[in-house]
Structures are given as structure tokens and as C-alpha cells.
Structure 1
Amino acid sequence: MKALLTSLLALSVVGCAAMQESYESNAQTIHSSKVTRSIQSPLNTNQFFQAEAPDQKQMFGAHNGPKKNINHYVRGMMQDLASNLKYVNQNTPLAVASFVFLDDKYDEGTLLGNQISESFMHELYQYGIPVIDFKTTGYMRVTPKGDFVFSRDYLELDEEQNFQYVMAGTLVNHKGGVLVNVRVVGLQSKAVVGSAQGLIPQTVLDALGSSERTDGIMLKSSAR
């Protein structure tokens, strides 16, 4: 009888041990499964975003930043000009002329040439160089169509202007856009005291539109 009880007790101990091992094994498996999912989950998410990336590029383009305009390329040419500019400083006023096409008449401006000169006026001022706006009349002309202080009529402008140097330039049509040649010249000496060159891409030029009226309606057209 004692031997039988001893055998039953031994079997009970073995059974409990087996159940404990089985429970620990299952718990380890469950824990391992959770760890595996927690590690793999970010990888699956990352793969998902990588799969979506091409669609986002198609929607927003290769460059998500703001598109470049004429001012961006003028700024680059101004940096080039500033690196070799001589005699011009904060005490030497300067004026900016219209940029003209090299193969055209030098007395006919274009919207592109005038816009480039306007952009250079801003850049020169940013560099601390005093810029003379000689198209300012010195008075305000009030009309039913608006109030104006600028004029292209030389009779309305001062005969004498206070600037010793002038910035001017030429434009050349190029397959990829327009080449810009910039130079600063002394009015008395006619000597070039600074120069720069640059290319404005055609895609940027296409965004510049001129205004003209047809039958009283303001229309937009591509600027040369």
C-alpha cells in the first residue's frame, strides 16, 4: 500500500512538472510571437510608405520647393558681379538701364529686358549700393486713370542726374533660354568696372507674360 502511494505521488509530481513546462513553453511562444510582430510591424509600415512615394512624386513633382523665377537668376548674376566690381560703393550712385537684345535695335526695350533691370535695381540696393531711379518725375501726376510718379517722357524728367556709373546689359536668344550679359560702366570714362553673365532658362521665361489691350480688353501674351 505504501509502495502504491509512493508511485502515485511520483506520477503526480511528474505530471505537475510537465504541465508547468508546457505552460512556460506556451507563454514563451506567445511572448516571442508578440516580440516578432512588434519588430516586423514598422518594417511593413515603412515598406508601405516606400510604395506610396512614387505617387507623391507624381503629384507634387521632383522638387516640392517653390519654383524659381527671374529674380533667382538675377540674384546669382549679382553675386558674380559683386565679386569683381570695382570703384562702385555706397558713395557712388548708380543707375540701371533697360537690357536690350544684342541682335536688335539698342533703342527698343522689351518686357524681359525691363524686368531684368528692375530685378537688378533691387539686388543692388540689397548690396548697399545707392540706386538712382531716374524715371521718377519729382511730383505726383494725378489722373482719372491713376496716380503716377514714373514717366518715360524725358521732358518730364530732370535734365541732370546724380549718378556716375550705369548698369546695362544685352540679351541673346539661346536654345535653352536667354543669355544675359551684364556690365557696369563709368559714364565719363566708358570703362567697364564690373561684369557678369548668366542664363535664364526658357521655362522661367515662359512664365513671364506681357499685357496688351485688344478692343479694350487686357490680354496676356508671352514676353520675348
Structure 2
Amino acid sequence: MKNVVLFATTLALLGGCEMTKQVAPESTEAQQSDMEILYAMMKEQERNEASQATAMQDIGFISYRHRKEIANYANQIALELSDTVLGQKPESIAVASFVNFNESLRDTNQLGNQLAESLMHQMQKLGYQALDFKALGKIEVTSSGDLTFSRNANRLRNVQSPSHLLTGTMVYRPRGVEVNARLLEFNTSLVIASTMVTIPYFILDEQATASR
């Protein structure tokens, strides 16, 4: 604001000078040059003040892409299961896909499979032996790559039964997917640890719950 007043005052003074007939041409050119310099200084000052005002303004939290991932929730599940194990140390853990909580308890989707994959990693990080029952026990060299996994039960080798099984259900609530996880004794189905987390919809991929 002070700059605007100064600019207006300078214009008035320069205008008064131009009204006098005794001003030399060289003086007029000098006045025009001074006006251009003053105008440039004023614009620069306005830009600086605008930048400072924007920096000081509280615009709140804006996030176009949430940084929390499925792995973070899998880590939370693994930690809570480990903390609530009832005096047991599982020798080996197999992780099954999480299923939709419906009549069949046989339907899964991308989220259910991704939770299982992440939990296998998280439990192994906590010091538990994770058993991958989808491994063929051999490497198949193909034109598309060197493969060692399969979902064909007839092709899988007979592996040692795990001591415990980690799995759970998914319930679709208004604000997110409620994941109920449990750690079971494989032979007795006794629940030795359980936990529940809710994963908000806004951090899930569009196809994560496509088959719910």
C-alpha cells in the first residue's frame, strides 16, 4: 500500500513538472526512465508481498495420494497377533487368502490375496517361519520366465503340514473393509491370537474389492 501511495505521489510530481514549459527534452526522457524503474520496483514489491502472504496462510492438509499402503495394515495385524499369542511359539505358519464374510466363506479378491502375501512377509520379519505351500519344489524354465509357483493343487508337492494357519475374513463397512485376522492351530483349529483392523476405501485400488 505504501508503494502505491509513493507511486501516485511520484506521478503527480512528474506530471506537474511536465506542465511547466521550461522543462528540457533531456529532463523529460529522464523522468520517463525514472517512472519505468519505479513501476518495475513497485510490481516486484507486490509480488514479494503476495508470496509472503501465501506462505503465511494456513491451507490445511492436502493429499492427492495417500501414502499409507496395505503393507502398513498387514504390519499392524502381524504385530497385534504376535503380541496376543497365548503362550505359544508357532513352529511354522501358512498364510491363506482372506475371504469375504458371506454364506460360503470361499470368495476372495485382490485385497484378500494381497493381505495374505503381505502377512507372510510381516510374520517372517517378526521371526516366525512362514511356509509357502504354493511352491512347486522345482524350477520350470519356460519362454515367459523361470517359474516355481502354482495354484494347481495336483501339481504341488506334499509339504510338511504347518503348525499354525493365519487367515481371516473381510467385512465391507460404509467407510472401509473390516479385516478380522486369526492365528489358528492347524490340527485343532484352536484360535490362539486374533485382531481386527479397518482399511479405508480411499487407500485401496479400484479393483481391490471388485468381487465383493
TM over 0.5: yes
Root-mean-square deviation (Å): 2.9
In structure 1, the partner of 2:82 is 82
Distance 1:162 1:99 in 2: 19
Gap runs ≥5 in structure 2: 1-47
Larger Rg: 1
Q: Which amino acid aligns with 1:83?
A: D
Within-5 A mapping of 1:21-60:
49=52, 51-54=54-57, 57=59
**Please, which moves more after superposition, 63-72 or 182-191?**
63-72
Distance 2:57 2:148 in 1: 52
Q: Residue 184 of structure 1 aligns to a residue in which SS?
A: strand
- Matched-pair contact (CA < 8 Å) for 1:112–1:223: no
Identity of aligned residues (%): 28
Q: Does 1:195 align with 2:198?
A: no
**Please, which moves more after superposition, 73-82 or 148-157?**
73-82
* 1:13-52 Cα deviation digits (max 9, x unpaired): xxxxxxxxxxxxxxxxxxxxxxxxxxxxxxxx99964642
Q: Which amino acid aligns with 1:80?
A: E
* 1:141-165 Cα deviation digits (max 9, x unpaired): 1222222111011111122424111
Q: Which amino acid aligns with 1:120?
A: L
- Matched-pair contact (CA < 8 Å) for 1:183–1:196: yes
Distance 1:100 1:54 in 2: 47
Gap runs ≥5 in structure 1: 1-44, 211-220
In structure 2, the partner of 1:167 is 166
* 1:100-139 Cα deviation digits (max 9, x unpaired): 0011533332111000011111110110000000100011
**Please, which moves more after superposition, 192-201 or 64-73?**
64-73
- Matched-pair contact (CA < 8 Å) for 2:84–2:193: yes
Post-superposition, which runs of at least 4 consecutive aligned residues in structure 1 deviate over 3 A?
A: 45-51, 61-66, 221-224
* 1:159-214 Cα deviation digits (max 9, x unpaired): 24241110010000110010000001111121101101000000011x3646xxxx
Q: Which amino acid aligns with 1:125?
A: Q
Cα gap change, 1:123 to 1:48, in 2 (>3 Å): same
- Matched-pair contact (CA < 8 Å) for 2:108–2:211: no
Q: Residue 161 of structure 1 aligns to a residue in which SS?
A: coil
Distance 2:64 2:171 in 1: 31
- Matched-pair contact (CA < 8 Å) for 1:68–1:204: yes
Distance 1:223 1:46 in 2: 54
In structure 1, the partner of 2:176 is 177
In structure 2, the partner of 1:70 is 70
Cα gap change, 1:53 to 1:169, in 2 (>3 Å): farther
In structure 1, the partner of 2:100 is 101
Q: Which amino acid aligns with 2:200?
A: P
- Matched-pair contact (CA < 8 Å) for 2:66–2:203: no
Within-5 A mapping of 1:204-219:
204-205=203-204, 207=205, 209=207
Q: Which amino acid aligns with 2:164?
A: Y
Distance 2:197 2:166 in 1: 15
Q: Which amino acid aligns with 2:152?
A: D
Q: How many aligned positions are there?
A: 165
Cα gap change, 1:194 to 1:137, in 2 (>3 Å): same
* 1:64-87 Cα deviation digits (max 9, x unpaired): 997101111221222221221135
